[in-house]
Amino acid sequence: MNSWEESKRNGIPWRRLGKATALGCAVLALTLSGVRTGAARDANTYVFANVVQYDTLDPHQAFDVGRVAARLNLYDGMLRWVDNPPQLIPWLAEKYDVSADGLTYTFTLKKGSKFHDGSEVTAQDVVYSAERILAIKKGASGLLSTMLEPGNVKAVDSHTVQFRLKKPISIFLSIVPEIHIVNSALLKKHEKDGDWGAGWLNSHDAGSGSFVLDRYDPSVGWTAKRNKDHFYGWSATAIDGVQFLSVPEDNTKVLGMLRGDYDGTSGYLPRDLVERLRGSDTVKILDEPSMRIMLFNVNNQRAPLNDVHVRRAINMAFDYNAFINDVLGGTVDRNRGPIPNPMWGRSDAKGYDYDPEAARKELGMSGAKIDRPLDIVFLTGFSQTEQAAVLMQNGLKRIGVEASVRNVNWSVLVDQMKSPDTSPDMVVYWISTYYADPHNWIGEMYNSANWGTFKSSSFYKSDKVDSLLNKAVSITDQGERAKLYAAAEKAIIDDAASVWIYNTRWFGPFNKRVKSIRFSPIGNGQDARWIQFNAN
């Protein structure tokens, strides 16, 4: 039985059981069926255990790191982020030019790039892909629609495409990799009722990427075979395929790594599990600096959280030192605002520390009446978010505020966070690096024009901050942009729009047979393009 079949057999029960029960059932199943080692599965297939469910494979319907593997491995963009620090390199495009006014970007595609059905990637496919993102209003559309109007992408010829922006914008090239190119002819065959082929593409493949979809089950994950005709070429020792499996429980992932069932898993496991893996003879830990911040996004539009004094009290109720040093063992750095420590544009704002007495004073200055428990949500399958949620609950209780704690699956939560009416009071999660610019964090999170995306679930609104952020993204001088972002960050921190906890390091567990890992914070190590295995 291979990893796919065992995951299909055991995955759903694991999702429904608590941690201790799930681990016990897993061990019992192994005892009854015989312990299976890594040698029993496909020898040249890379198997990765992820946390989230792959509820869609459509690259234009998702814009989160949890499901990024499908976008990175099944699809290509004109440009691509690689390495750490992240570098933007040409991919399907061999070159690009920018007009003097900063409004027109012209890309020249490499000739000979093929979709998985053998048809050539053309400028018309790029046009279709951009128009599709704008039309279906999901995934990266919230960001792309601030830059492009429908009809503003034109095919000059079969290998030249032009983007005409609404206005000059400094981050356009940074988000070009998120315009994943789909096979327009194939999708048009599968369109139903003007859906741009969305129903079909949820569970099928219309890409040109390094791997070709083989099997898909939303309760299990997906497998793909190496695209032998990919334009980038392959080394003689390239892997034959990949499996990205949905494995929600941390203990289950660790057990699978120790047994050799998985070649890689989440780089954000709890400290004790990382150390358990580090002591194994079969696992190595890749330690990389990252720009992923953890925070509680607070629903600024819902009473009593629409009162700044209540939000400041919440910031002072969380014991940062206990979480960072005691729970996480000092493996992360305190981050006091929305811009990660390594990124330019940060302010000198002090932020907030754990101080229950000061928190009670803030509550005393508030005119808000807190007559209900606050609703704190953490992510299913991410034990660290549960630990943070419980610590926040305890801290709030010390200042006289009751709170309830519950878990929600990420795909469900993304839909809830589209509106302040359905978004929880507080959600603890991470904002990862989608592109290396302060706008990735502060611009998308706190400009009110972005309400409706998971990044902006604080539903913060400030005319002053909107103005600063709009100006920062419209100019190209980094020094001036840095000043604008610093001013915006200072105002956002003063308004206590969220609770900012830390900037992380990435501790990626891999089987020792894995080599040629090309980690980038953009994608969190889920790009399997360069993976190879050591010879036995």
Tell me: pLDDT of 35 over 80: no
Does one domain contain both 373 and 432? yes
CA distance 123 to 109: 7
Query: Same domain, yes or no, for 391 and 359?
Result: yes
Residue type present at position 36: R
Residues 6+ apart with CB under 8 A from 385: 378, 379, 428, 429
Looking at the fold, whether 370 and 449 belong to one and the same domain comes out as yes
Q: What is the CA radius of gyration of the chain?
A: 23
Do 237 and 159 share a structural domain?
Answer: no
Residue that the structure tokens 């679930």 belong to: 457
| 17 pLDDT above the threshold of 80 | no
Q: 460 and 402 in one domain?
A: yes
The answer as to whether 195 is a domain residue is yes
Provide the pLDDT confidence category of residue 3 given band limits of 50, 70 and 90: low
Please report which confidence band the pLDDT of residue 23 belongs to, taking 50, 70 and 90 as the band edges.
Answer: very low
Q: Verify that 309 and 372 share a domain, yes or no.
A: yes
Kindly state whether residue 284 falls inside one of the protein's structural domains: no
Are residue 430 and residue 495 in the same domain, yes or no? yes
272 Cβ partners below 8 Å, 6+ apart? Answer: none
- Between CA 131 and CA 108 the distance in angstroms is 18
Report, as an integer, the average pLDDT of 79-86: 92
User: Is 202 exposed, middle or buried (CB count within 10 Å of its CB: 0-12, 13-18, 19+)?
Assistant: middle
Cis peptide before 304 (omega within 30 of 0): yes
Task: Give CA–CA dist 275/194, Å, rounded.
Answer: 51
What is the total residue count of the chain? Answer: 536
Max Cα-Cα span within the chain: 69
Residue 93 scores a pLDDT above 50? yes
The pLDDT of 113-122, averaged and rounded, is 98
**For range 509-534, the mean pLDDT:** 93
In this predicted structure, what is the pLDDT of residue 22? 39
Q: Does 237 lie in the same domain as 181? A: no
Residue 42 is given by DSSP the state: -
Is 268 part of a structural domain of the chain?
Answer: no
CA 60 to chain centre: 14
Mark whether 480 and 533 lie in a shared domain. no
The answer on pLDDT for 28 being more than 90 is no
Please report where in the chains the tokens 């949905």 appear, as a residue: 246
CATH at 155? 3.90.76.10
Q: How far apart are CA 116 and CA 138, in angstroms?
A: 24
Please indicate, yes or no, if residue 154 is contained in any of the structural domains: yes
pLDDT tens sequence across 325-341 = 999 989 899 999 999 99
Note the pLDDT tens digit of each residue in 122-154: 999 999 999 999 999 998 998 899 899 999 999
pLDDT at residue number 142: 84
pLDDT band at 2 (very low <50, low <70, confident <90, very high): low
Residues 116/122, Cβ–Cβ less than 8 Å: no
Q: What was the pLDDT predicted at 66?
A: 81
* Residue 89 belongs to some domain of the structure: yes
Confidence of residue 9 (pLDDT cuts 50, 70, 90): low
**Cβ neighbour number for residue 242 with a 10 Å cutoff:** 25
Domain that holds residue 369: 289-505
**pTM of the full predicted structure?**
0.79
In 137-189, the DSSP E strands lie at: 153-157, 160-164
Indicate whether 280 belongs to any domain.
no
Would you say residue 276 lies in a domain? no
Confidence of residue 271 (pLDDT cuts 50, 70, 90): confident
Better-predicted residue by pLDDT, 104 or 268: 104
Q: What is the mean pLDDT of the chain?
A: 91
% of the chain exceeding 70 in pLDDT: 92
Residues 304 and 181 in one domain: no
Determine, yes or no, domain membership for 442: yes
pLDDT band of 8, cuts 50, 70, 90? low
Secondary structure (DSSP) of 475-495: ---HHHHHHHHHHHHHHHHHT
Residue 63 CB neighbour total at 10 angstroms = 23
Does position 242 have pLDDT exceeding 50, yes or no? yes
Per-residue pLDDT, 11: 44
Query: Which residue, 201, 227, 253, sits at the end of a domain?
Result: 201
Residues 438, 331 share a domain: yes
Q: How many domains does the chain have?
A: 3
Do 48 and 99 have their domain in common?
no
User: What's the rounded mean pLDDT across residues 7-29?
Assistant: 38
Could you count the other beta carbons within 10 Å of the beta carbon of residue 360?
16
Give tens-digit pLDDT for 418-449: 999 999 999 999 998 888 999 999 999 999 99
Peptide bond into 85 cis (omega under 30): yes
The CATH number of whichever domain residue 214 belongs to comes to 3.40.190.10
> What are the pLDDT digits (tens) for 355-399?
999 999 999 999 899 999 999 999 998 889 999 999 999 999 999
What's 499's domain CATH number? Answer: 3.10.105.10
